[in-house]
Structure 1
Amino acid sequence: MSEVDVLRSLFHHADQLLTQYRPFWQMRPFYIRQLSECSQLPEHLLSKLTKLDQKEFEQLSQNSEASQQWLQPWLPCLDELEQIQRSIPGVDNSETSSQQDSVSIKHLSTGIPGRKWSQIEQFINSLPITGDTAKHKLLEWCAGKGHLGRLLSIRKGYEVTSLEWQHSLCIQGEALIHQQKKRYPQLQQRMQQGDALSDDVSRLLNQHNTAVALHACGDLHTHLISQCCNSAQAIKQLAVAPCCYHLTADDIYQPLSKAGQGSLLSLDRQDLKIPLQETVTGGQRVSRLRDIELHWRLSFDFLRQSLTGETRYKPLPAFPKKLLSGEFNDFVLWALINRELLSDNHDSDNLPFNEREMSQALTEGAEKLLVVRKLEWLQSHFRRVLEIWLVADRALALEEAGFHVELYQFCDKAVSPRNLLILARR
């Protein structure tokens, strides 16, 4: 079977399972009060899930073998889902790393978090560079401060243009180029401020023969792929690690490939967020704060509904995480002011709820959180396959445009769960 056939087979297998078992993952856990509301799911499954208390559920959900056995009557596809995930090979860059030139790059990592630097290094090591790189002009898409492009230029000899929208990041990037050029005179890089979604990028792309994008969000990376699919485009090599699929202007996902356009799946932004629920654990403290945040968000919503008479969950925006180190009262005060249900001259001792109502909200919030966890657990078995479906759709669009395309996992999930890499060349 050719690589094209393998990619198509992968997509269609994922599409078939996602379509067949849609009720198990295409749901809104935060908007569901009781498991009994999930009428699309098997009644016996809901009954057994409801009977699991928090301790029993945690023990079950944290044991993959027990989970698979427990779910087998309703999800006989679990082995197939695992098979799809295992079909994306990892990149063996051990040889690449061991054969790197003698250039020391430790100074380039200054000020970059360790995990981010590991992502940059492993992304670069995954690229199968061909030909004379000295003649290659590379465009770094959505570059930030240009860290990726800087390493590509120093280590692999590219002449790099780093495209970035934010002026402040371009200024900082230029300063880093000036600083690092003293240590690495071979560095060939320039920052260019510009909008990756503008019409001007077509001209910019035509001035380069290689483009790379590490974790460009949503429309930013799909626009790059769409531009490169144009037969008149000069880009011959493309490396894209997608991220944040939900950050798109379209209310409903618009597949890029013909295969994707033939799918029966209809995905909105909430569906596109499902793959992002898999995160890298930041330690016990981060995990504890995440649990507190979800509990308090849900608990506050019970209080909000009692004030407004609404019965539908309404999410809160991001907030200063220092609130989680305080009291629930302080969080409720912030949330009430944010929702314009209280003026900002109030304090946490003057809330429109008594102690019993606050305590009851926390109890109901904890019960609702367990419901959310159980439904997200069902979703989790399809999370990675949905992401593979999305990335394969992008890869197939490039294949349909004449590229030779391969999919890899460029790093371990502990480095980044967004580790799928599209490599394309023509």
Structure 2
Amino acid sequence: MTTPRPLTNDQLLSRFQALDGFVREHQALWRPRPFTQLQLPWEADHPALSSWLRQRSLEQAEAAHNHPEQLGAPAPFPLLAKQAGQLSEVGELPSIALAPASHRLNVDVPGRKWQQIEAFASHLGFTRTPQHWLDWCSGKGHLGRRLLQADRQRLTCLEFDPTLVAAGRELSLHHQLDAEHRLQDVLAGDAAQQLGPEHTAVALHACGDLHVRLMQLASQQGCRQLAIAPCCYNRIQAPVYQPLSAAAIASGLQLSVDDLGLPLSETVTAGARVRRQRDESMARRLGFDLLQRQLRGEDEYLPTPSLPVSWLHKPYADYCRELAALKGLHIDQQPDWDALQTKGWQRLAQVRNLELLRNLFRRPLELWLVLDRALYLQEQGYQLQLGVFCEQPLTPRNLMLLAERH
């Protein structure tokens, strides 16, 4: 078995087109959300798969959540899993020797975040040694400080939160590093003034519009080097996805904010307590969903607001009554609250298992989005490498773009 390799310039378009065909062909399988629909349109076409998934337990769904491709489900699941895996295959970017971090540089950085920083930094294999790092949406500047390797290198950190700017400045002074921490809204009109040809701009998990903004401004301002690990594709101001590259524009694939959330649905970091709270919340909502359909006489999902964790401690009857009141609904009957809550848990098991088919398209859709970004940068004159910088358990958002103008 050959080891996957990163995608480079001449491979980007062909992979994008293959993914585009796959994603568009199977929209009926990944667009519908089991959480909001009692019956999914595809179930009529694939009754054996539907029945098999619906009979499984919540525990079985959880066990398969991160690797649905390994599930021995009825057709067409195995073929789709194989195709999704092949189309999503991307190798690790070449690693570089990274000098050990200076003493206590990782103090106050959560362990997982520091590991991500180390992994990101060790894959910044530019052909020329960067002279001036620009840490985009830097927070306290932990990434930027880790990148300062040479005496002559400089660092500029751009951050929107003044508290983080002040904390970052204090940390850089403490470590005696040549870093400038600037307060900057990167979406503001004056953000372009912060970038120039001398900068090597880096963004580790800058959300949605924020990393797209970096790509656009870096291209305009002549930045020669750029490294981005995209995140939170659904954090956009527009109501639908705005394609960047000529190929994505030509595709015609329309992606809603909900669609853009699909790649982010993978969970690897949540602890047991958080997962229990999540399950309890979703089961309660799904039970309430059955109730609200009866109350309204409409077989449609009714969006409900985010609720504090304290609501999970309410008796289920009170939970439903108060949530109904928030939505302007009156409960003029006496439901069997225990039975309704049990149905909520049963439905949660079905939802989670039905989502396993949708989850086969998480990585293909994410790679489609990252390739759109890569092709856009290629159109702006950059040489590109697209690969992974760490293993999936460290972060599912492990795709990274290295862009360089020569």
- Using structure 1 for the length normalisation, give the TM-score: 0.83
- Which residue in 2 is equivalent to 1:263? 251
Higher-helix-fraction structure: 1
- Asked if residue 29 in structure 1 is aligned to residue 34 in structure 2, the reply is yes
- Asked if residue 196 in structure 1 is aligned to residue 186 in structure 2, the reply is yes
Does the C-alpha gap of structure 1 residues 73 and 214 become closer, same or farther in structure 2, counting only changes over 3 Å? closer
- Which residue in 2 is equivalent to 1:112? 109
Q: Is the 8 A contact 1:17 1:77 kept in 2?
A: no
Q: Is the 8 A contact 1:395 1:405 kept in 2?
A: yes
Does the C-alpha gap of structure 1 residues 330 and 258 become closer, same or farther in structure 2, counting only changes over 3 Å? same
Give, in angstroms, the shift of residue 193 of structure 1: 0.8
> What is the CA RMSD across the aligned residues, in angstroms?
3.1
Unaligned runs of 5+ in 1: 182-186, 343-350
- Which residue in 2 is equivalent to 1:54? 57
Does the C-alpha gap of structure 1 residues 66 and 212 become closer, same or farther in structure 2, counting only changes over 3 Å? closer
Given the alignment, which residue of 12, 19, 36 partners 1:7? 12
The code of the aligned residue for 1:252 comes to V
- Asked if residue 123 in structure 1 is aligned to residue 123 in structure 2, the reply is no
* Deviation sequence 1:90-137 (CA, Å, 0-9, x none): 2353x625xx25x534x122222111111111111111144354xx12
Q: Is the 8 A contact 1:228 1:235 kept in 2?
A: yes
Does the C-alpha gap of structure 1 residues 176 and 259 become closer, same or farther in structure 2, counting only changes over 3 Å? same
CA distance in 2, matches of 1:314, 1:111: 42
Given the alignment, which residue of 240, 249, 252 partners 2:228? 240
CA distance in 1, matches of 2:41, 2:151: 53
- Asked if residue 171 in structure 1 is aligned to residue 166 in structure 2, the reply is yes
- Which residue in 1 is equivalent to 2:81? 78
- Asked if residue 413 in structure 1 is aligned to residue 392 in structure 2, the reply is yes
- Which residue in 2 is equivalent to 1:221? 211
Give, in angstroms, the shift of residue 202 of structure 1: 1.4
CA distance in 2, matches of 1:204, 1:166: 16
Give, in angstroms, the shift of residue 332 of structure 1: 4.4
The code of the aligned residue for 1:408 comes to G
Give, in angstroms, the shift of residue 148 of structure 1: 1.0
* Deviation sequence 1:16-51 (CA, Å, 0-9, x none): 1111111111112222013xx415761434653476
Does the C-alpha gap of structure 1 residues 175 and 64 become closer, same or farther in structure 2, counting only changes over 3 Å? closer
CA distance in 2, matches of 1:156, 1:45: 64
- Asked if residue 147 in structure 1 is aligned to residue 137 in structure 2, the reply is no
CA distance in 2, matches of 1:244, 1:66: 23
Give, in angstroms, the shift of residue 59 of structure 1: 9.4
SS of the aligned residue for 2:175 comes to helix
Q: Is the 8 A contact 1:45 1:74 kept in 2?
A: no
CA distance in 1, matches of 2:355, 2:201: 36
- Which residue in 1 is equivalent to 2:371? 392
Does the C-alpha gap of structure 1 residues 299 and 422 become closer, same or farther in structure 2, counting only changes over 3 Å? same
| Matched pairs, number | 400
* Deviation sequence 1:297-323 (CA, Å, 0-9, x none): 222333445555554323334433354
Unaligned runs of 5+ in 2: none
Does the C-alpha gap of structure 1 residues 251 and 45 become closer, same or farther in structure 2, counting only changes over 3 Å? farther
- Which residue in 2 is equivalent to 1:378? 357
Give, in angstroms, the shift of residue 333 of structure 1: 6.6
CA distance in 2, matches of 1:384, 1:149: 28
Give, in angstroms, the shift of residue 85 of structure 1: 2.3
The code of the aligned residue for 1:212 comes to V
* Deviation sequence 1:317-342 (CA, Å, 0-9, x none): 44333544665456547645655769
Give, in angstroms, the shift of residue 408 of structure 1: 1.2
CA distance in 2, matches of 1:70, 1:292: 27
- Sequence identity of aligned pairs in percent? 36
* Deviation sequence 1:201-241 (CA, Å, 0-9, x none): 112112742101111111111111122233xx220000011
Q: Is the 8 A contact 1:149 1:162 kept in 2?
A: yes
SS of the aligned residue for 1:29 comes to coil
The code of the aligned residue for 1:262 comes to A
- Using structure 2 for the length normalisation, give the TM-score: 0.87
* Deviation sequence 1:73-97 (CA, Å, 0-9, x none): 46634322111222x112353x625
CA distance in 1, matches of 2:79, 2:300: 33
The code of the aligned residue for 2:228 comes to V
Q: Is the 8 A contact 2:87 2:364 kept in 1?
A: yes
- Asked if residue 315 in structure 1 is aligned to residue 303 in structure 2, the reply is yes
- Which residue in 1 is equivalent to 2:265? 277
Q: Is the 8 A contact 2:201 2:226 kept in 1?
A: yes
